Amino acid sequence: MAAEGYGRLEAYLRAAEELGYVAHLERALEGRPGVRDIVELYKAPLWLLGGIARAITDGITGRRVGYIVNMIMNYTNICVVGCTFCSFYRKPGAPDAYKLEAREAAGRVVDAWRRFRIRQVLFQGGVDPGIPIEYYEEAFRIIKEETRGEVAIHGLSVVELEWLARVNRMSLRELLARLIEAGLDSVPGAGAEILSDRVRKLISPIKSSADTWITTMETIMDMGIPISTTMMYGHLETLEERARHLLSLLDLQRRKKRIMSFITWNFEPGKSPLGESVPYPAGGTETLRNIAVARIVFRGEIRWIQAGWLTAGVPLGQASLEYGANDWGGTLYGEKVLPEAGVPLPTLVRGRIERLIRDAGYEPVERDNWYRPIAKAAVGA
């Protein structure tokens, strides 16, 4: 850590000692936090968490903030899982259900590459048992061939992969081998929500258990595929369940070392069934608190933490950079899930993202799917 960052950290630790939080912070900073330590950190003053999280981040990536030019391909909204927090899914046969043909889905990705020079596609939809593995193989191969391999495929959540293996009567390893051969580069962390079986039974009872989510991700990483990880907070979870979620991800990273990033967002009630019992989203301070606590717990072991702009808005995304985030995320061309929940998304092109990062006092760095910086000469318009 740079001397300036170390000095600031020492000052915050002295303040933490006066406030009664220093023992919890020291255990976290030494890489051995317990559930109680994290729960107490969630209760600490926000300014204290932010100051410590930012000092840690300065020692990891300095003032640099990554971002990626990407799109989301929501290839279908048909889903049989029926999560209570989701406003996007439609049951098979619903009048407004849709499924893009593989060639059309791939064509939209290729078009975005030609128009915007995207570097990544987040390829996700619902769980439609009627879609075979050949659909994804065709789409992935077209994307790779037509974009000369320039677009990384960050695709398919744990639940999509689990169902796809089941429907196609093959092991997860067999499924992944075929998808990798077709062009799959990495797997998103969607479907984690909160890694607590109590919560999962309430908000997504058909999804697999927390342990199964972890073991599925272990298999994915064992096959050389890097992943991102997530947390959806602000619904029925407790602080203890949030703490256990973070510790599960930290343990997974220590064992497999292929987690690229962590993204946290608040539950958006929208028109979802869960919204009837949780009618209001968590506030912006809760976003900042989650990002800061995650940075303190993960330190540099999970290097990249994304800003919380997606559900909480652009100004809060800028603020989250002061609380331990060091990646903006992407342009997200084509996103359909959040608008269904009533969250309007601004169009953030490369130039605007860079201005937003600079206006917040940081240095924007365009990156690729693996969080590697892209040389300026390789960046298009």
By the 10 Å C-beta count (0-12 exposed, 13-18 middle, 19+ buried), 44 is classed as: buried
Which residues contact residue 259 at a Cβ distance below 8 angstroms, ignoring those fewer than 6 apart?
Answer: 221, 226, 227, 228, 229, 249, 252, 253, 302
Position 333 scores a pLDDT of: 78
Same domain, 36 and 107: no
Helix, strand and coil content of the chain, in percent to the nearest 5, comes to 50, 15, 35
Domain count, the chain: 2
Residue 12 domain boundaries? 3-55
Quick one: pLDDT band at residue 169, thresholds 50, 70, 90?
very high
What integer pLDDT is reported at residue 7 of this predicted model?
A: 62
Band (105; pLDDT cuts 50, 70, 90)? very high
**Which residues on adjacent β-strands are paired with residue 183?**
none
Q: 233: which 2 tokens?
A: 């907070």
Give yes or no: residues 51 and 84 share one domain. Answer: no
Taking the C-alpha atoms of residue 332 and residue 238, their distance in angstroms, rounded to an integer, is 30
Check whether 343 has a pLDDT greater than 50. no
Is the CB of residue 134 less than 8 Å from the CB of residue 103?
Answer: no
Do 164 and 288 lie in one domain? The reply is yes
In one-letter notation, the amino acid at residue 224 is G
Which of 30, 55, 80 finishes a domain? 55
DSSP state string for 235-286: SS--HHHHHHHHHHHHHHHHHH--EEEEEEEE---TT-GGGGTS-SPPPHHH
Residues 141 and 18 in one domain: no
The per-residue DSSP string of 127-156 comes to: --TT--HHHHHHHHHHHHHHTTT-SEEEE-
**10/124 same-domain check:** no
- The enclosing domain of 367 has a CATH number of 3.20.20.70
pLDDT at 341: 40
- pLDDT given for residue 5 in this prediction: 53
* Pairing of the two strands 363-366 and 70-74: unpaired
Q: Give the model's confidence band at 1: pLDDT under 50 very low, under 70 low, under 90 confident, else very high.
A: low
Position 345 scores a pLDDT of 46
Whether the CA torsion 345, 351, 352, 354 is positive or negative: it is positive
Same domain for 8 and 137, yes or no, is no
Is residue 269 pLDDT above 90, yes or no?
A: no
Q: Model confidence at 120, in pLDDT bands (50, 70, 90)?
A: very high
Residues 215 and 342 in one domain: yes
State the alpha helices, DSSP H only, in 62-170.
102-116, 133-146, 158-167
Q: How many CB atoms lie within 10 A of CB 206?
A: 14
Please tell me whether residues 217 and 270 are part of one structural domain. Answer: yes
CA distance 69 to 350: 7
State pTM to two decimals: 0.92
pLDDT at residue 183, rounded to an integer: 98
Q: What is the pLDDT of residues 59-93, one digit of tens each?
A: 999 999 999 999 999 999 998 887 887 777 788 88
Half-sphere CA count of 308, side-chain side, radius 13 A: 27
One domain for residues 47 and 92: no
Q: Are residues 316 and 298 in the same domain?
A: yes
36 and 68 within one domain:
no
Percent of the chain with pLDDT over 90: 76
Question: Residue length, the chain?
Answer: 381
Nearest Cα residue to 65 out of 283, 296, 378, 319: 319
β-sheet with 363-366: strand ranges across? 327-330, 64-68, 363-366
The whole-angstrom separation of Cα 185 and Cα 118 is: 15
What pLDDT does residue 2 have? 47
pLDDT(122) > 80 = yes
Average pLDDT estimate for 190-206 = 93
> In the structure, what pLDDT confidence band is assigned to residue 379 with cuts at 50, 70 and 90?
low
Per-residue confidence band for 313, with pLDDT thresholds at 50, 70 and 90:
confident
Q: Which of 19, 24, 23 is nearest to 39 (CA)?
A: 24
Are 43 and 172 within one domain?
no
